Structures are given as structure tokens and as C-alpha cells.
Amino acid sequence: MKLKRMSLAVAGLMAVAAPFAVAQQINAAGASFPAVIYQKWFEEYRKLHTDVQINYQSIGSGGGIAQLTSGTVDFGASDVPMTDEQISKLAVKPLHFPSVLGGVVPTYNVAGVTQDLKFAPETLSGIFLGTITKWNDPRLAKDNPGVKFPNADIQVVHRSDGSGTTFVWTDYLSKVSPDWKSKVGAGASVNWPVGLGQKGNEGVAGTVKQTPNSIGYVELIYAVQNKMAYGSVKNASGNFVKADFNTVTDAAAGAAKNIPDDFRVSITNAAGKNAYPISTFTWLLIPSHIPDAAKAKTIKAFLQWMLADGQKYAAGLSYASLPKEVIAKEVKQIAKIQ
Amino acid sequence: MATPAVADTAAIRRRTTQTGDIVARLITLAFAASIILITFLLVWQLWSQSAATRHKFGFSFLFTTTWNPVTEEFGALPFVYGTVVTSVLALLISVPLGLGSAIFLSELAPAGISNALTFLIELLAAIPSVIYGLLALFALVPLMRDYGEPFLKSTLGFLPWFKGPVYGFGLLTGGMVLSIMTIPFIISVSREALLAVPREQREAALALGATRWESTWQIVVPYAKLGILGSIFLGLARALGETMAVTMVIGNDPKISASLFAPGYSIAAVIANEFSEATGQVYQSALIELGLVLFLLTIIINGLARLMIVATTRKGSKR
Amino acid sequence: MMSGNLIWRKSVNAVMLSVTGVFTVLAVSALFLILGYLIYYGGRSLDWNFFTKLPLPPGEIGGGMANAIVGSLKIVGVAALMGLPFGFLAGVYLSEFEDKMFCPLVRYVADLLNGIPSIVVGLLAWGLVVVPTRSFSGLAGSIALAAMLIPIVTRQTEQFLREVPLSLREAALALGASKWRTIATVVVPAGSKGILTGMILGVARIAGESAPLLFTAFNNQFWGGGITQPTASLPVMIYSHAIAPYEDWHRQAWAAGLVLIGMVLIANIAARLVLARGISVPRA
């Protein structure tokens, strides 16, 4: 009799505890650039599969690579592809899965300026090099006739953490400005000549929003969601292009057809008259061998979903969906995950 | 007269209570010793995990100004500079304010009010760092950017410390937030030190015709100076290690600049910002070595503080 | 001449004494300013969502910090479970079993540990727990917090046990009680109010810590899989939400700040009240 009551109690307890017990916890960390759509995806995926919690922490691309290397996360995310040297440090080779396309925009908060500003490559590199220090500099006025600039110092805001967004920005500046290339160069973390450092796309956007006469670089969605002004940039064909779904897609069009098998490619300063010059793929870094079979199954299922239904969320969140050639190739890569 | 049986029972009871005492002593000793173990583990961790940069750079790590994770060149100087500058700034503000308040609370205020106000001020010490950061970010930074720093620039702009663009974020704001965080320590400990000064000292001064202020400033305060100095070192130790409040307002730029308006970086802030993304042995080791430097700094300052405070209480109790 | 000097000295006296009064008012008003800000901005933002909902993806309104509140309770709870008995027993040793060489060393090291910046303690827990287990976990965070709690509780326990009058111990020993029985049944209960105060203040202190959790407990958007997984906590959430650009997240940061400071202040006031009721045994 006592045994029966005890077993009933245990069964009751298990029924109550079951939902928590069964939920599968997958940990990921990395780039803040795509964090907005990633959080949306993981939330939506959880609604579809209530037992799967994919916990993503936006700590920067550098963080994603570092945590993947030390094995504390199940997969990472980065807007800059891993270098051969970084890959060699991992026991298990990582696979790069482009997840979405996005654009890095110059966002600014200038007193009295309501129009969209146009930035030539030399102007952007000058501002971030510290050679253009005031908003009413003639070089800015040249591309923006009719705009009344205040006589104020330009407050530059950049990233303080290791950032794929920084890599894309500096990669672009290195391509268009030999001065930038020799003095600073491209990287996830560079020696900034001027400016304030903040953490994540979130930190840069937050600071530019609150600091008058400031300029920073963020992924498009951060400027859009916070109703911040962002400018257009002159592309390789000489047109001033503003980042949006179409212009970013155009930037990837050329690379899509010839994308390398490991998907590591840079599309900054792409050819194309309507291409947005500071666009990029962003990648999920998935280990090619995942020892936990249940996790491997879930991750592969998520990747399938991301390449199909997931892409539908891109436009609404100011990212661009992947070209279909790339998607087709990636679906094949999923099979490589053991 | 104890019969053999009773004598045996008594002996048994003595033995069991002795065993009980021994066991109690051993158990509590084990826990007390573990405190030493924890600290030892900490030092060992900091030492061994920073081996890569210690071997690569040696002592020059402390004097190099480059911080370049890409080329793996690391130097501690910008962070030591930022840490020291913000802490010194904090003390410049909090010591006069704190000492003045301590004097008021110990000499002038009636006991009841003094206790109540001290209680309130000590509550300031209990407020978490991240909340100070929250307030500094949303209330202090705009204030400094729109009013404080422009004012300083217009009046004292000829000094090298007040030149350059005004961000709101920066060393000055970092120092200000730290000053509010160190004040309760200075007030609390200084007040105790002042209260410990024997009455005879004050009465003698007043009897000689000194004003209240003169008695306080020229007799009582010097008498308590060790304790007051101890409180300053205690506040300094706290300021050196503050993380969250500082990292939210200091500007996070590993540069050394003369201007207080410029963004800077402190040791604790860089560890907090960059640790989770430190790729590679050398980068991680550099950050841990910074942690080691901070650890050593705080031990030395805390140790000095303790010595001074202990010296004061001993001095006071001699009477 | 003499009276002129006297007038000068008297005015200096008046001025300086009022200046110190002003300084005190400034110091105290800092507290009220801080509380005022939190109550105003936090109070406006506290709503049912905050306490019951999980964080939503960036840019969406209506999320909350339910998981952070529960996570903080878990992490601090486990830290208290580990740290309180530890600190208490260590304090008993320091107070009751005097050892000429060892005790001063332990005291010195405990004070040292007390003064170590919390981020460095976080590094310790990272090296000891996160690296070998290759996982961020609430447990690692708890261990970091426990390491901070122990020296606080140790010193407080020792201090209040020392204040128990010698006559009490001697009376118990004279009645035939052994040392450990004396400690357990007489001395500790006598000092219990102070010890409890120390414990409450210690737990309140670690509940607000954010730095040691940054790379131990990490953070979590969801409920998480338990204490061995990354766990959300209020202080870390406040930090990440405060530096983000979203107005809604700022709102939530204020609300979380208010909740956190509410807990910390209530604990502090409760602890002082407990202490103010005095030691349970009148002094001999």
C-alpha cells in the first residue's frame, strides 16, 4: 500500500517536472550584427518546437569564435569568416553556414540635419581616421549640397569588442582608402585612431542615439529599429546607394554564383550599379562533428528551417535573404554534420 | 566517593566530550583553512593562466601602451593609467566631501541624528555597482556632456586636462561616478576614527581658547589621521576594482590622453568587456595578467589601509 | 587687533562648520537622488509583463525578465547554501579556538579575499569551473559569489561571537558542558542576532553583483536547463539592457534596477533592525 502511494507520488512529481526536464538546451554565442534576426528565429523555432531552447548571446563575432574554440557553446556566429589559423586551433573542424545577408550603415545624430546624408568613401575614411574633424568640413558639404551642417566636432563611435561588423567596415575602408589600409587595416579589432568604444552593435547604436553630433557604424536593423538616420554610401560604380533588401541582395549577386565551397567570401565594395558597398554574409559556425546525437539532430533540423522558412523573416527585419544558389549549396553541407 | 562503575562512566563522558571537542575543532579548522586554500587557488590561477604573456613580454608588459589583439601585442599601461586616473579623481572629490561630512557627524551632530545619517550614508555602500552604472549612463553622462564638461572647458580650457572634444563618456565621468561610490567608506571609517579621539584632547584645546573648528581641524583630525588615511586607502581599493559602473561610462578606449574629457579604459572594464571574446592563448593570458596586476594593486592598498586602521584603534585604546 | 583676529577666527569657525554640514547634506542627498531616480523611472516601468514574461527578440515590446528574477534567486540561493555554513564555521573557529599563528593568518587572508575586486573572483570561478566543464553555468556563478560571501560571513560571525561575554562561557563550562556544547548551545545563540545580520548583509551584497557572473553564469534568453547551464540574472540583464539602444529595454533596465535595489535595501534595513534589538543575553 505504501509502495503504491510512493510510486504515485513519484509519477506525479515526474509529470510536473517533465516539461522542464525534457526541454533541450542548446547554447550559442557570437555576432551582434545578426542578433536581431537570430533571436527572432530562435523564438519562433521555440514556438514550433516547444522543447527546444536555443540560447543565443550576442557578444560579438570575436566572442563567438572564442567560445566555439573553448567549447563552451554548441555553435558560434560571426560576420567575419574564421581564418585558417583560427580554424586550426579547433579540434573539430567548423563548417561555415551563411545565414543571412546584411548591410553595415553609417548612422549619425547631427543637430539640425534631417536629410539623408551622402558619404563618399574618402569622407568616411577621413572621419574615422580623424582627419575630418568637424561636421561642416567642406568635404562633407561637397557631397551634400543644401544641407546645413553645424560647426561641431564629429564624435566618432566604434566597437570596443571584437566585431565582425568592424571587420566588414574596415575591410571596406581598406579597399577604398589606401591611407586607411596602411594606417589601420582591416580586422575584427583594430587600433582606432579616434573615437569612443562601445560593446556590440547595440552599444554603438545606443551611444550614437544619445550623443549629439556623433557617427557610428551599425547593421541596418539597429538604425531602423531605433529610428536613427543613416546615410547612403558611394559604391564602386559611383552611385550613392542606401542599404536595403534590394541593394544588399545586389551586392551578393556576383559572389553567389561562384561562392567557394567553404562559403568564406567578402562582398564589400561589390560591382553592380545598385549594389550597397558595405554588405556582408554572416555565418553560423557549426562543428562538423557533434557528439551529442540529440543536439546534432536538433541543430540540423534548425538549419533546414533557417534555409527555408527562416529566410522569410529577413525582409521584415531589414536583412536580405540568401541567394538561392547559396541556399542549395548549404543544404548539401548540412549532411556533413555528423 | 566514586565507585569504579561511576568512575568509568565519568571517564567515558570525559573522553566523548573530548572527542566531541576535537571533532568540532577539526571541522571548524578545516573551514577556516579553506579560506587560505581559496585565496591560494586564486593566486595560482592568476599566475599560471597569465604565463603566456608573462614569458612573452616580461616586465615590459607593465609599460607598453599598445593593445592590439590582432597582432597580439599587449600592454597594461593604458589600463593602469585609466584605473589610477579615475580613482585619483574619485578621491579628489570624495575625500574633502567625505572628511567634511565625517567631521560634521562626529563633532557637531547630536548622537541620534549622527547615527541616523550615518546609517543612510552606509546604505550608499550597499547599492550594487551596476545600478550606479545605470544612473551614471542615463543621468550623469548627459549632464556632463551638455553642461558639466562644456562649463569646465570654457572656464579651465587652458589646462591640458580640459581640452579636446566633449563626449560625456570619459575619464572625468568615470571618476565622478567612482567618487559617489567611495564616499560612504571614507565617511564611515573616518567618523569612527574621529569618534575614537579621547574627549580630553578636544576639551584641552577648547580650554586654551580654540574655536570649535580649530579644535577639530588642528587637534582632533591630526590625532585621527591614521584612521582617516586608512579610510582613504580603503576607498581607493574599492575604486580600483570597480567594474560595471566604470565600464558603462568610461568610453572603453585603450589610449592615454592628458584630457579628462577623453575616453579611457580601466583594468576591470577591459576584462569585463573583452574576456568572453579573447581568442587565443596570448589574448586570454594578457587579460588574466591584467587581473593579476589589479589583484596585486588591491592587496597592497588594502594591506596599507588595514595597518593604518589597526594602528589607530591601538592608539586609541592605549588611553 | 586681538578682537579683529578673534572675529576672523570666529567667522572661519562658522563657515567651516556649516560647510561640513553642507557636505553631509550632499552625501545624504546622493542616496535620495539615486532612490528617487529609480523609483520614478523604475516605478513607471514595472508591470505585470516584467515579472512574468521572458525577454523578447530585440525591438519587440512587452518582454520581461521573469527568467532573470528566477535565475538570480537560483544563483544567489546556491551561493548562500555553499557560502553561509562555510563562513559561519570558519568564524566559529577564529573566535573560539584561538591559535597564535594560524588565526591571524586566516584573518588577514579573509580580509584580503574581501577586498579582491569581484571581476577577479569571476576569473577564479571561470578557471576552476567553466574551463574544465567546458560550459558556462549558474553553478560557476554561484561559486564565484560564494567565494565573495565567505570572508564577509566569517568576519561577522567571529566579531559577534567575540562579543558574547566570557562569563557566559565560563558558566557553561563550570556546569560540565564540553567546549563544543558550550559553543553550540550557549555562545552561538547568544551571538545569533549579529551573525544573522552578517549573513543577511552578505547575501544582499552578492545578490547585486554583476561582474563575476559575466563569464561564469553568462546569460540566457530562456528559462534554461538548470543550474549547470547558462543562467540569466538580474544584474547582468540590467547591464545588457542599459547599453542597448531600445527604449523598451531601458524601461526594463530601470524596472529591474528598482527591484534589485528594493531587495538590497530591504535586506539592509532588516539586518540593522535585527541587530538593533540587541544581543539576546544581557551583559553580565
pLDDT attached to residue B66: 87
Separation CA A142–CA A270 (nearest Å) = 24
Separation CA B110–CA C41 (nearest Å) = 35
Separation CA A205–CA C59 (nearest Å) = 13
pLDDT attached to residue B13: 62
Note the residue count of chain A.
Answer: 338
Low-confidence ranges of chain A (pLDDT < 70): 1-22
Burial label for B5, CB within 10 Å (0-12, 13-18, 19+), is exposed
Residue among C57, C130, C244 minimizing CB distance to A40: C57
| Count of CB atoms situated within 10 Å of the CB of B10 | 11
How far apart are the CA of B142 and the nearest CA of chain A, in angstroms?
Answer: 8
Helix axes C234-242, C66-96, angle to 10 degrees: 130
pLDDT in tens, C121-178: 999 999 999 989 988 999 999 999 999 999 999 998 998 898 888 898 889 888 888 8
Q: Which three cell numbers stand for residue C238?
A: 540590467
Q: Is 80 exceeded by the pLDDT of residue C1? A: no
**Confidence at C244, pLDDT banded by 50, 70, 90:** confident
CB spacing of C28 vs B120 below 8 angstroms: yes
Separation CA B79–CA B271 (nearest Å) = 10
CB spacing of B42 vs C257 below 8 angstroms: no
Helix or strand (DSSP H, E) at A287: strand A279-287
pLDDT attached to residue B14: 65
> Are residues C95 and C157 in contact, defined by beta-carbon separation less than 8 angstroms?
yes
| Chains sharing 3 or more CB pairs under 8 A with chain C | A, B
CB spacing of B306 vs C111 below 8 angstroms: yes
> Are residues B292 and B57 in contact, defined by beta-carbon separation less than 8 angstroms?
no
> Are residues B167 and A155 in contact, defined by beta-carbon separation less than 8 angstroms?
yes
Separation CA A147–CA A115 (nearest Å) = 7
Phi, psi of A29 (to 5 degrees): -155, 155
**Confidence at C187, pLDDT banded by 50, 70, 90:** confident
> Are residues C186 and C172 in contact, defined by beta-carbon separation less than 8 angstroms?
yes
Report the percentage of chain B scoring pLDDT > 90: 45
How far apart are the CA of C180 and the nearest CA of chain B, in angstroms?
Answer: 5
Could you tell me which of B90, B85, B42, B187 has the C-alpha nearest to residue C115?
A: B42
How far apart are the CA of C261 and the nearest CA of chain B, in angstroms?
Answer: 7
pLDDT in tens, B29-88: 899 899 999 999 999 999 999 999 999 888 889 999 888 877 788 999 999 999 999 999
Could you tell me which of B122, B275, B272, B260 has the C-alpha nearest to residue B191?
A: B122
pLDDT attached to residue C279: 42
Measured between CA atoms, the residue of chain B closest to residue C247 is: B138
A152: Cβ contacts below 8 Å, ≥ 6 apart: A110, A111, A134, A135, A136, A212, A213
| Count of CB atoms situated within 10 Å of the CB of A17 | 10
pLDDT in tens, B169-211: 999 999 999 999 999 999 999 999 899 888 888 889 889 888 8
Tell how strand A94-109 and strand A214-219 pair up. Answer: antiparallel
What ranges in A178-268 are assigned the alpha helix state H?
Answer: 178-183, 200-210, 220-225, 245-257
Separation CA B299–CA A237 (nearest Å) = 61
CB spacing of A226 vs C245 below 8 angstroms: yes
Interface test with A, best of B145, B147, B277, B287 (most A CBs within 10 A): B277
> Are residues A174 and A222 in contact, defined by beta-carbon separation less than 8 angstroms?
no
CB spacing of B279 vs A69 below 8 angstroms: yes
Separation CA A131–CA B93 (nearest Å) = 36
A66 touches chain B (CB under 8 A): yes
B237: Cβ contacts below 8 Å, ≥ 6 apart: B298, B301, B302, B305, C115
Interface test with B, best of C112, C182, C269 (most B CBs within 10 A): C112
pLDDT in tens, C42-86: 998 888 888 888 888 887 888 889 999 999 999 999 999 999 999
Query: DSSP label at B106?
Result: I
How far does Cα B285 stand from its chain's mean position?
Answer: 25
Question: What does the pLDDT average to over B126-150?
Answer: 92
CA-CA distances (angstroms) from residue A226 to A202, A209, A230, A280, C244? 10, 8, 11, 21, 10
Residue appearing with cell numbers 553560423: A284
CA dihedral angle for residue C51, residue C56, residue C61, residue C67, rounded to 10 degrees: 10
ipTM: 0.89
Note the residue count of chain B.
Answer: 319
Could you tell me which of B198, C225, B229 has the C-alpha nearest to residue A74?
A: C225
CA angle B228, B230, B233 (to 5 degrees): 115
B7 touches chain C (CB under 8 A): no
Q: Is 50 exceeded by the pLDDT of residue C186? A: yes
> Are residues A230 and B286 in contact, defined by beta-carbon separation less than 8 angstroms?
no
CB spacing of B145 vs A211 below 8 angstroms: yes
Residue among B20, B126, B268 minimizing CB distance to C117: B268
Could you tell me which of A116, A134, A118 has the C-alpha nearest to residue A126?
A: A134
pLDDT in tens, A172-207: 999 999 999 999 988 888 888 888 888 888 889 988
Residue among C59, C230, C243 minimizing CB distance to A198: C243
Report the percentage of chain A scoring pLDDT > 90: 61
Phi, psi of A318 (to 5 degrees): 65, 25
pLDDT in tens, A64-114: 999 999 889 999 999 999 999 889 989 899 999 999 999 999 999 998 888
Q: Which three cell numbers stand for residue C206?
A: 552578492
CB spacing of C238 vs B131 below 8 angstroms: yes
Is residue C254 classed as helix, strand or coil in its secondary structure? helix
A240: Cβ contacts below 8 Å, ≥ 6 apart: A118, A119, A143, A232, A233, A234
Separation CA C34–CA C37 (nearest Å) = 5
**Confidence at C180, pLDDT banded by 50, 70, 90:** confident
pLDDT attached to residue B15: 64
Long-range contacts of residues A246-249, Cβ cutoff 8 Å, at least 24 apart: A246/A274, A246/A320, A247/A103, A247/A274, A247/A275, A247/A276, A247/A279, A248/A101, A248/A102, A248/A103, A248/A220, A248/A276, A248/A279, A248/A319, A248/A320, A249/A101, A249/A320, A249/A321, A249/A323
B&C contacts, CB < 8 Å: 253
CB spacing of C134 vs A209 below 8 angstroms: no
C131 touches chain A (CB under 8 A): yes
How far apart are the CA of B156 and the nearest CA of chain C, in angstroms?
Answer: 24
Which residues is A284 bridged to in the sheet?
A: A77, A97
**Confidence at C102, pLDDT banded by 50, 70, 90:** confident
Q: Which three cell numbers stand for residue B10?
A: 565519568
Separation CA B84–CA B298 (nearest Å) = 12
Q: Which three cell numbers stand for residue A121?
A: 568613401
What is the DSSP secondary-structure string of B35-46?
Answer: HHHHHHHHHHHH
| Count of CB atoms situated within 10 Å of the CB of A196 | 28
How far does Cα C21 stand from its chain's mean position?
Answer: 30
Separation CA B270–CA B264 (nearest Å) = 10
Q: Is 70 exceeded by the pLDDT of residue C6? A: yes
Is residue A261 classed as helix, strand or coil in its secondary structure? coil
Residue appearing with cell numbers 529591474: C256
Residue among B68, B165, B263 minimizing CB distance to A153: B165
> Are residues C232 and C162 in contact, defined by beta-carbon separation less than 8 angstroms?
no
Helix or strand (DSSP H, E) at A106: strand A94-109
B229 touches chain C (CB under 8 A): no
CB spacing of A196 vs B69 below 8 angstroms: no
Which chain A residues are within 8 Å of B251, Cβ to Cβ? 196-197
Interface test with C, best of B9, B28, B290 (most C CBs within 10 A): B28
Interface test with C, best of B38, B79, B115, B212 (most C CBs within 10 A): B38
pLDDT averaged over every residue in chain C? 88
CB spacing of C245 vs A199 below 8 angstroms: no
pLDDT in tens, B237-262: 989 999 999 999 998 888 898 899 99
CA-CA distances (angstroms) from residue C27 to B109, B231, C132? 15, 16, 46
Which chain C residues are within 8 Å of B105, Cβ to Cβ? 24
pLDDT attached to residue C90: 92
Is residue A153 classed as helix, strand or coil in its secondary structure? strand
Tell how strand A75-78 and strand A24-30 pair up. Answer: parallel
Interface test with A, best of C220, C237, C241 (most A CBs within 10 A): C220
